[in-house]
Amino acid sequence: MQESPIPIPWPSRDRYLTPFLPLVYVAWSDGILSETEMGRIRQAIGESEDLPASAARVLESWLRADSPPSPEALARLEASIRRAARRAAPEELRSLVSLGVAIARAEAVDAGGWATAKGLRVLGGVEELLGVLGGEAARDLAPPERPVPPQRDSDGPTAATALQRIMTGDEDERRLRTRVLELLSDPRIRVPDGLPTPTARKRVLAAVRRLAAEGLGKLAFPTEFGGTDDVAGSMILFETLAYGNLSVLIKFGVQFGLFGGSVHQLGTRRHHEMLLERIGSLDLPGSFAMTERDHGSNVRGIETRADYLPDTDEFVIHTPHPGAEKDWIGNALHGRMATVFAQLHVGGEEHGVHAFLVPVRTRLGRPLRGIRIEDCGQKVGLNGVDNGRLSFDRVRIPRRNLLDRFADVTPEGGYRSPIVSPGRRFFTMLGTLVGGRISIAAASVSVAKTGLAVAVPYSARRRQFGPSGEAEVPILDFLAQQRTLLPALATTYGLHFAVRSLITDYASADSRHTPPRVEALAAGLKAYASHHAQETLQNCREALGGQGYLAANRLGVLREDTDIFTTFEGVNVVLLQLVAKSLLSKYRESMGDLRLWSMVRLLAERAGEEVARLDPVRSRRSADEHLRDPEMQREALLFRESRLLHTVARRLKRRIDRGMDSFHAMNECQDHLVHLARAHVERSILESFRAGVERCGESGDGTAARLLGALSDLYALSTIERDRAWYLESGYMEAVQTKAVRDLVNRLCRELRDEAPALVRAFGIPDAVLAAPAALDGAPG
């Protein structure tokens, strides 16, 4: 046959060529066939005995990789196929061959020998050489009328109301939350994103003044000083404010939580009478000056000095070198007084870190003598908060400015404290400030809720791709999208219940002594929740595609503003080590209280428990009823925590027995300690989550309890899945079980897919506060 350098024009209504129309078009439309593959197709066509030479030349001219058809010619070919195939029956779209024969019939062309078994085998051979899914390709070429997307059945709308009621506590809490959400919609409190930093700071200060005017700054203070003595309420307030502008939230927290809280918790009655009402009304803006440039989270190592002068009854506050200046101090540019943490020196003796009230500005805003204040400058986020640096050049303050709840200095220079041990006194002082960590954990959960409240509804509504010839499907139907959002949704629910439980425990504890368990869990939940918020916001940003990159949808700003949540109130990795040390202390105490035979008996019991837990039959059980058993899930997380605790204790003991100091021993086991802390926090979250499920069941709402139970299963199993390598290494699970866990996580995601929009509505964030177009029905696609 004579080869043609360009495709011969395709003849219309040709009985030999028409059935090849879909095959030829598909050969070129994806542009993926090589010259070798095209050659095989030409060879198969050339071997057909029923194809006339003229038709074979046309086909060969259209199937040469070195002389492709022009875009215009290919477009004409596509148009002719689509015109002819409009009336194709569903059974004629099973393959490109059946579509080609149908087109021939539609054009009243005699398909001749191609409709015979022999002809169909030739055409089928060509389709096979194309290497495509013929049915899907045919449906793409002859799509039916766009079908109406099916309506989904969901129990969510009914359950959302019940879940919101369960998640928002008692009536007093609901009233407070409603009041705060209404305020967040107030233009005087809303601060637009993207303002110049000086303007943003003014707007943020005005918003905090508005909140103070509503009496919200005094909520945790005693009633005699204008407050309501509602510690739990102040944390719920902070949690709810986190749905709005986060610069407003943090400046509010610095003024009333850190500055006001330090005066309330570390001071005595004279400080309360003199300052609390002024602080709560924002008549006295203040700062909390603890962190130093050279020491960061190591508060015991700070170098700012406070020397007592008995001759004048004063303390001298001094920054000995630039590395000791107070850094990242919130409210630094607006504050007129600061709670300054310094090493106390009395009569030549050092007594450790204490807190002092130091005036830093006049009412007109001018720095006082000896006070140096500078702006930290532009930050990654929270630029509505005026962070700065403070240093002191032999600044004198009266003796009464020592916050003396736990220690005092007499006029003659005597040091007195009801707590003899310096170490215990230091940790008791810091323990009174645990509320700040709990508040950051609560705010982190709110931010994660905001991200999900934007991403989940958008994903349920946004359509892309789908089966050939059918409607595009919502992107939340894709397993990858479900995996991105729904385990994060389950974890957010779990954290909600865990933080609420912690708030209750903290508020009901003796204000003079925070229980070690509460301190440890506050540190752990702050670290875990702030990391979760960052990870969730990033996942939500990616899940929304281009919509997530729009500033109007808030995800980028929230991510930047919450980045620092992982650092302030304690760097997360340091806090996790505090959790691990607390667990080790408790472990050591339990061991230290045992006599020899009791110790032997305990170790024997634990060995028996270990054998039982490592039962090979149990480790292979993969049925849903086993994996969804709450006791199985709790046991799996408890085993991990207990094993990590026992093994890290042994590792540390071996090193210390060899003469290694505890600092280096802890450093060598640091990854193990952090893993232990996370395991403890995740187990605590699950237990709080299950308690929430039980309360929901007791309320009589079976649908809400079912949804909450499925979320709890998803949280527990995705947590196990994430650490499946450890479970395999430890022998607690075998591969058949970890594979079953992975499969069940996938099925739980599908089970919860239709309920997900209602589950985020249960967060109860009003549209005016959420303020993200992508979360609303009218958002652009």
How many CB atoms are located within 10 Å of the residue 746 CB? 14
Q: Mind listing the pLDDT tens digit for each residue in 320-364?
A: 999 999 999 999 999 999 999 999 999 999 999 999 999 999 999
Residue 638 has a pLDDT of 96
Please choose, from the candidates 246, 248, 174, 247, the residue with its C-alpha nearest in 3D space to the C-alpha of residue 217. Answer: 248
For residue 343, the cross-strand partners are 305, 353
Q: How confident is the model at residue 135 (pLDDT cuts 50, 70, 90)?
A: confident
Q: Mind listing the pLDDT tens digit for each residue in 363-400?
A: 999 999 999 999 999 999 999 999 999 999 999 999 99
Q: Does 159 have pLDDT greater than 80? A: no
Q: How confident is the model at residue 79 (pLDDT cuts 50, 70, 90)?
A: confident
Q: What mean pLDDT comes out for the span 741-762?
A: 95
Q: How confident is the model at residue 101 (pLDDT cuts 50, 70, 90)?
A: confident
Inter-axis angle of helices 35-46 and 53-62, nearest 10? 170
Q: What's the predicted TM-score (pTM) here?
A: 0.84
Pairing of strands 305-309, 337-346: parallel
Round to whole Å and give the CA distance between 536 and 448: 6
Distances (CA, A) of 65 to 38, 60, 137, 573: 7, 10, 21, 59
Q: Mind listing the pLDDT tens digit for each residue in 106-116?
A: 665 665 555 56
Q: Does 1 have pLDDT greater than 50? A: no
Range list of H helices, 373-477: 422-431, 434-461
Burial of 258 (0-12, 13-18, 19+ CB in 10 A): buried
Residue 76 has a pLDDT of 80
Q: What mean pLDDT comes out for the span 457-464?
A: 92
Q: What is the DSSP string of 86-153?
A: TT--GGGGSSHHHHHHHHHHHTT---GGGGSHHHHHHHHHHHHHHTS-HHHHHHHHS--SPPPPPPPP
Q: C-alpha 64: how far from its chain's center?
A: 54
Length of the chain: 781
Q: Mind listing the pLDDT tens digit for each residue in 591-612?
A: 555 444 454 454 455 555 555 5
Residue 599 has a pLDDT of 44
Q: Greater confidence, 19 or 492?
A: 492
Q: Mind listing the pLDDT tens digit for each residue in 307-330?
A: 999 999 999 999 999 999 999 999
Round to whole Å and give the CA distance between 153 and 633: 30
Residue 104 has a pLDDT of 75
How many CB atoms are located within 10 Å of the residue 131 CB? 10
Q: How confident is the model at residue 781 (pLDDT cuts 50, 70, 90)?
A: very low
Residue 406 has a pLDDT of 92
Q: Mind listing the pLDDT tens digit for each residue in 465-504?
A: 877 667 788 999 999 999 999 999 999 999 999 999 999 9
Distances (CA, A) of 690 to 631, 705, 713: 10, 10, 9
Average confidence score pLDDT of the chain: 87
Residue 600 has a pLDDT of 45
How many CB atoms are located within 10 Å of the residue 369 CB? 9
Comparing 206-215, 306-315, 615-624, the range with the smallest average pLDDT is 615-624
Percent of residues, the chain, with pLDDT higher than 90: 62
626 Cβ neighbours under 8 A, 6+ residues apart: 632
